[in-house]
Amino acid sequence: MSKRTVLVTGGARGIGKGIAQSFLEAGCNVMIADLAQGDGWRYRLATDAEAAATSRELADLGDVRYTPVDVTDAASCAAAVQATLDAFGALDVLVNNAGVVDSGPIEQFTERQWEHIFAVNVKGVFLMTQAALAGLRASADAAIVNTASIAGKRGAPNMAAYCGSKFAVVGITQSFALELAGDGIRVNALCPGMVATAMWQDHLMANRGEAAFEDRMRDLIPLGRPQTVEDMGQAAVYLATAPNVSGVALNVAGAYQMH
């Protein structure tokens, strides 16, 4: 993969950081794109400072930069793509990984919660892909990896917005795979199982601690442990490199879900 350029949204922390690390280890240039200002959601999202710290931490592995992006905003997506082209002269792999979660009974769920989940998780994939297309078409080896979820394959109570958004990502992935095949652009989805990031620690199992998360996942997951950001990075690199794989939604979930 040497010297392919990869843009990872939501790359400041969590799964996106793991994906950035794996692409750097595979010899790529990486642009981390994330929110500059992490306020305004049910739990704290990433900040400029966090993204800058991640870039510094990963710098020993290769050329990694940071650019701010809000994936719900078309002009911001275009600016992040332009920053990548300015920094590295190319864009070969787009990883649409930015995402937010919220949960709760349908009668208490607000329109604002619903709309923001769809704005980030679904519209964000569309806007970033649209902004990146010219760059990807100019690449001889282009791929898109969308972070969906096992929640994009099976519904869950109190999770209609999140599950609906991730089902949408799987459908978008299949559609883009067909639409962009003629350009030689492969498009796949990564479906993580359960990874101990802010989504779990600060929201879904807030205040219950890492040990409680580990115990619960050991019971639930047939392979006996939660997934890690490294598991996700490895799978993302596979999806971006496999020459004849496109349109799949790959579960990385320790046999917790199989379809």
Q: Which is nearer to ligand NAD, 30 or 46 (CB)?
A: 46
Residue 162 among the catalytic residues? yes
Which residues would be at the binding site for ligand NAD (CB under 6 A)?
9-10, 12-16, 34-35, 38, 45-46, 69-72, 97-101, 120, 147, 149, 192, 194-195, 197-200
Question: Which residue in the list 43, 162, 238, 256 is annotated as catalytic?
Answer: 162
Q: d(Cα 253, Cα 99) in Å, to the nearest integer?
A: 18
Alpha-carbon dihedral sign for residues 82, 122, 101, 154: negative
Least spacing, CB of residue 132 vs ligand NAD, in Å: 14
Q: Which is nearer to ligand NAD, 76 or 139 (CB)?
A: 76
| Three-point CA angle 137, 141, 147, nearest 5° | 85
Q: Are the C-beta atoms of 48 and 37 separated by less than 8 Å? A: yes
Q: Which is nearer to ligand NAD, 26 or 189 (CB)?
A: 189
Q: Which is nearer to ligand NAD, 95 or 180 (CB)?
A: 95
Q: Which is nearer to ligand NAD, 35 or 235 (CB)?
A: 35
Give the 3-state DSSP-derived string for the chain, with helices as H, strands as E and coil as C: CCCCEEEEECCCCHHHHHHHHHHHHCCCEEEEEECCCCCCCCCCCCCHHHHHHHHHHHHHHCCEEEEECCCCCHHHHHHHHHHHHHHHCCCCEEEECCCCCCCCCCCCCCHHHHHHHHHHHHHHHHHHHHHHHHHHHCCCCCEEEEECCHHHCCCCCCCHHHHHHHHHHHHHHHHHHHHHHHHCCEEEEEEECCECCHHHHHHHCCCCHHHHHHHHHHHHCCCCCCECHHHHHHHHHHHHHCCCCCCCEEEECCCCCCC
Q: Which is nearer to ligand NAD, 27 or 209 (CB)?
A: 209
By annotation, the residues acting in catalysis are 162
